Amino acid sequence: MESGSSERGGAGAAARTEDTRANASGKIFYISPQRCGTKSFSQFFRRNGYTAASWNETARNQWPLASLEGRFKDILDSEDFRSHTVFEDGPWYHPPLFKYLYWTFPDARFVYFSRPVEDWLKSMKSHSKGFAPGDPKRHSMVYDRLSDYYALLDAGVEPQLRIEGAEEIYVRAFNNHRLQVRAFFEDKPADRFFAGELYDADKFAKLGKAWGLSFDSSADVHIHKSGAPFARDFANERD
């Protein structure tokens, strides 16, 4: 994946080196789970002049481990966190972390793009040839598979977890995460949370309109063609 230090496209984008368009100094966090267009999200914002932290920064700083251990301040104190405006493909979808970020940064904004769970599960299976992607222990903590992890470990077997045969666990985790996002943000101001659909080609244009952001290009970077509109639980028009 690209680093957040990639060059910015276009003269207009190059002139905005301070990332001031994202609600002054405000940060934008993509809180959909992995395999939900995370890379496309950062590519879009980079193309529009924002510094975006992706997997390179996440891995270098070990942000997922810090999040799962509750070391949120270590994340905030890291140089990569301070120097980037947009964040994806990291621990940002962990509910305890995004709640902490919401209350810690009054000008931070959060984005959730929904994806049909069957498509997400298929993508998860294909990512690592059927095995759970990433560090097995951290993965087990996120998807509630610690009993499987330690059963293998205690039996002297390398704890590599397969997704096949455990689909119900992942579907439950995906749906529960979506509901946790809904439960937390449903009574929060609309100028701090935007929900859309991953397969909507106009989602970034709608995001810009909702938040008053102007983009040099509002075209999606990568659009998944399969699937139908999904999860209209989140209303972007509030009373």
pLDDT block averages, 10 residues each, the chain of length 239: 36 39 69 94 94 95 97 97 94 98 97 96 85 92 96 95 94 97 98 97 94 79 45 40
Contacts 24+ apart (CB under 8 A), 65-71: 65/135, 65/138, 66/91, 67/91, 67/94, 67/96, 67/97, 68/94, 68/138, 68/141, 68/142, 70/96
Q: Which fold has domain 25-117+178-211?
A: Rossmann fold (3.40.50)
Task: Give me the pLDDT at residue 30, please.
Answer: 98
Task: Give me the pLDDT at residue 134, please.
Answer: 86
Tokens 């405006």 correspond to what residue? 85
Task: Give me the pLDDT at residue 18, please.
Answer: 43
Task: Give me the pLDDT at residue 127, please.
Answer: 77
Tokens of 23: 């609600």
Every domain of the chain and the residues it spans: 25-117+178-211
Give the global pTM. Answer: 0.83
